[in-house]
Structure formats: structure tokens, C-alpha cells
């Protein structure tokens, strides 16, 4: 594919979209760690120096994809959660199940989240970092509002804590639940070690359930608590 240099704002925007679309397609085939700027450039049909005209680094590309994935995830949750019924505990458990299952169904998002702090937020300029954090803040606020609608008993602070715990758990649980080939072989060969193998969905669901229950308990008025 032959590309001419983009000269108008519209052409530059289209080049950026092409870079992002190609990178997104690559992440359906390979983990974040395997996506290189050289291979991305080859698939687009541009020299690496030309790709760098539109994104300052590989990490800048992936950060933009991360926030697009987050936005799509929250939008999906808006439809998945619907109207909630039941006790606060039942609604909390239902929300935990929905959050865990929806995250498990988005491996690209989870892989990007897992790489965010240690990899993707490095090798970027302050300008890109500011843009990334603004987008992250907006996505987080949307998630908090969704949690708050589902569990109004938590209030703004409790909903914020539950949303943050959900994302942080996904960031940590994803690499732990996707071990290396050597570890998978070890788990398969020794039943005693197999118990250490983590299931992503179960881990996220259980953590969110426990967090929601704890936050709900802390919201009880003092009069409802047993005397010490």
C-alpha cells in the first residue's frame, strides 16, 4: 500500500485512524508485549519515521487504544447492567458478576490495562500523558456513575472506590491468570501446584463482591451497628 504524506488536518486524522485500526487488529493476534513499531509500520505500509509523524511512540498508540477500549467497555456495561433489583447485597453480587464477565470478554482491554503503568506510561511526552490522563479520568467517571446508579447506597465515594478496585484488580489479575508456558506445564504436571492457578473471572468477581459488601457495611448508620 502506497501512502502520500498527509497535508491537511483531515488527512492527518485519517492517517491516525489507520494507525490505530491496524494496531487494534494486531492486538487480536498478539499480546501487547509482541506489538512492535516496526511490524506496525510494515502492516500499514509506511516507514516507521512516517508513523512517528502521527504518534510519537508505540506507547502513545497503545495508550490511545486503551482509552478507546475503556470507553467501549463502559458503553457496553450501560446496556448489560440495565435496571437493578433486589437487596444491596444481591445487586452488588450481580454487578460483580457482570463486571468480571465483561472484562473477561475483552482480552485486549485487560492486556492493555496490565501493561499501562509499567510499560505504556513510559516513553511518552508530557502532552501525551496529559491527554491520556484526561481520557482516563472521563472513562473512570463514567464507570463510577454506572456503579452509583446500580448501588446508590455506596454514595459517590464508595462508588469511586468500587470502580477503582475493579480496574486495579483486572490490571493485576490478568497477567497472573495468564502464566508462561513453563508455569502452565508446572501446574499440569503437579496437582499440588494446580491449586495456585488463578482464574481471571473468578478472581475479579470475588474481589468486587467482597469490596462491595465491605463498602456497603461501612455505609450503615451508627445506630444500626451493634454496640461494642
Walking along the chain (228 residues) 10 residues at a time, the average pLDDT comes out as 60 91 96 96 93 95 97 92 78 95 97 97 97 97 96 96 98 94 91 89 97 91 49
Q: Which of 84, 71, 215, 102 is nearest to 149 (CA)?
A: 84
* Alpha-carbon gap, residue 35 to 66, rounded angstroms: 14
* Alpha-carbon gap, residue 140 to 70, rounded angstroms: 9
* Alpha-carbon gap, residue 38 to 55, rounded angstroms: 13
Quick: pLDDT tens for 9-27.
788 899 999 999 999 999 9
What percent of the chain is modeled with pLDDT above 90? 79
Domains of the chain from N-terminus onward: 1-55 (1.10.10.60), 58-219 (1.10.357.10)
Q: Given phi > 0 = left and psi -120 to 50 = alpha, else beta, which region is 55?
A: beta
Hunting for cell 469511586 — which residue is that? 160
* Alpha-carbon gap, residue 170 to 100, rounded angstroms: 8
Whether pTM > 0.85 for this model: the answer is yes
Q: At a CB cut-off of 8 Å and minimum separation 6, what does 102 contact?
A: 73, 76, 77, 80
Interhelix angle 88-104/200-218, rounded to 10 degrees, is 150
User: CA 135 from chain center: how many Å?
Assistant: 13
- pLDDT for residue 6: 56
* Alpha-carbon gap, residue 61 to 35, rounded angstroms: 11
Amino acid at each position: 500500500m502506497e501512502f502520500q504524506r498527509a497535508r491537511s488536518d483531515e488527512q492527518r486524522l485519517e492517517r491516525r485512524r489507520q494507525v490505530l485500526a491496524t494496531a487494534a487488529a494486531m492486538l487480536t493476534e498478539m499480546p501487547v508485549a509482541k506489538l512492535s513499531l516496526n511490524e506496525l509500520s510494515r502492516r500499514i505500509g509506511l516507514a516507521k519515521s512516517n508513523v512517528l509523524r502521527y504518534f510519537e511512540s508505540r506507547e502513545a498508540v497503545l495508550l490511545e487504544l486503551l482509552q478507546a477500549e475503556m470507553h467501549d467497555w463502559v458503553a457496553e456495561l450501560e446496556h448489560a447492567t440495565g435496571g437493578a433489583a433486589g437487596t444491596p447485597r444481591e445487586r452488588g453480587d450481580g454487578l460483580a458478576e457482570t463486571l468480571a464477565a465483561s472484562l473477561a470478554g475483552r482480552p485486549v482491554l485487560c492486556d492493555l490495562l496490565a501493561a499501562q503503568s509499567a510499560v505504556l506510561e513510559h516513553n511518552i511526552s508530557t502532552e501525551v500523558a496529559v491527554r491520556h490522563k484526561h481520557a482516563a479520568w472521563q472513562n473512570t467517571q463514567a464507570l463510577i456513575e454506572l456503579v452509583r446508579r446500580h448501588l446508590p447506597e455506596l454514595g459517590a465515594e464508595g462508588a469511586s472506590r468500587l470502580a477503582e478496585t475493579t480496574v486495579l484488580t483486572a490490571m493485576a489479575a490478568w497477567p497472573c491468570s495468564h502464566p508462561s508456558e513453563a508455569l502452565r506445564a508446572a501446574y499440569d504436571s503437579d496437582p499440588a501446584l494446580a491449586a495456585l492457578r488463578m482464574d481471571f473471572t473468578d478472581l475479579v468477581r470475588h474481589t468486587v463482591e467482597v469490596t462491595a459488601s465491605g463498602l456497603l457495611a461501612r455505609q450503615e448508620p451508627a445506630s444500626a451497628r451493634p454496640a461494642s
